């Protein structure tokens, strides 16, 4: 008897709590624009799928850790404090083990712009980067030696050094 009473109460409670979320479905694009940064071999695209409340981004490019960035980017200019959250997944097989998806904060759309990013690599590496408090270095995680290691480099991509050695 107790199970019969609790189950309907839990269902009603779930509907009351989640009901307001349904009204928050968004049918537009939150980004100001999107486009390719750098010389990408294949033009990228950004598509908002309202039914699933998700964005599909496609593109090509080169590694973002060095002097010239190449990737597809959807952006919105923000000022002040903000919180970023992204649920990221790859669709299909990629042609490059180091393809990445995630969020990025950039000073500009220039190919060599300083940036901070939170990315997921296709080979399973969850990766992040942070500037040192004095801004002289960027610290990041990498499996380039075969195991996860902490690395440091200058913001221009020079002086890359493994810190675990």
User: In which region does residue 163 sit, left (phi positive, over 0), alpha (psi from -120 to 50) or beta (all else)?
Assistant: alpha
Determine contact, residues 99/122, Cβ cutoff 8 Å.
yes
Determine contact, residues 144/158, Cβ cutoff 8 Å.
no
- Residues 3-30 have pLDDT tens digits of 444 333 333 333 333 334 444 555 677 8
d(Cα 106, Cα 117) in Å, to the nearest integer?
9
| Number of alpha carbons in the 13 Å side-chain half-sphere of residue 67 | 2
pLDDT value for 66: 65
Determine contact, residues 45/60, Cβ cutoff 8 Å.
no
The neighbour count for residue 116, using CB atoms within 10 Å, is 15
The neighbour count for residue 129, using CB atoms within 10 Å, is 19
pLDDT value for 47: 92
Q: Would the pLDDT of 37 be above 60?
A: yes
- Residues 46-74 have pLDDT tens digits of 999 988 888 898 888 877 766 678 889 89
The pTM for the full model equals 0.58
List, in sequence order, every residue forming a beta bridge with 54; answer none if it has no partner: 49
Q: How far is CA 76 from CA 104, 152, 157, in A?
A: 11, 28, 25
């Amino acid at each position: 008897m107790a199970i019969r009473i609790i189950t309907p109460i839990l269902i009603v409670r779930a509907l009351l709590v989640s009901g307001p979320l349904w009204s928050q479905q968004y049918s537009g694009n939150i980004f100001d624009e999107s486009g390719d940064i750098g010389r990408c071999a294949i033009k990228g695209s950004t598509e908002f799928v309202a039914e699933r409340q998700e964005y599909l981004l496609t593109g090509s490019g080169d590694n973002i850790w060095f002097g010239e960035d190449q990737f597809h980017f959807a952006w919105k200019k923000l000022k002040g404090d903000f919180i970023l959250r992204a649920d990221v997944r790859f669709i299909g097989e990629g042609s490059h083990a180091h393809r990445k998806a995630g969020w990025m904060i950039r000073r500009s759309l220039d190919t060599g712009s300083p940036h901070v990013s939170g990315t997921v690599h296709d080979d399973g590496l969850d990766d992040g980067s942070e500037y040192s408090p004095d801004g002289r270095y960027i610290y990041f995680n990498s499996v380039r030696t075969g195991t996860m290691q902490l690395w440091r480099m200058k913001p221009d991509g020079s002086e890359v050094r493994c810190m675990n050695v």
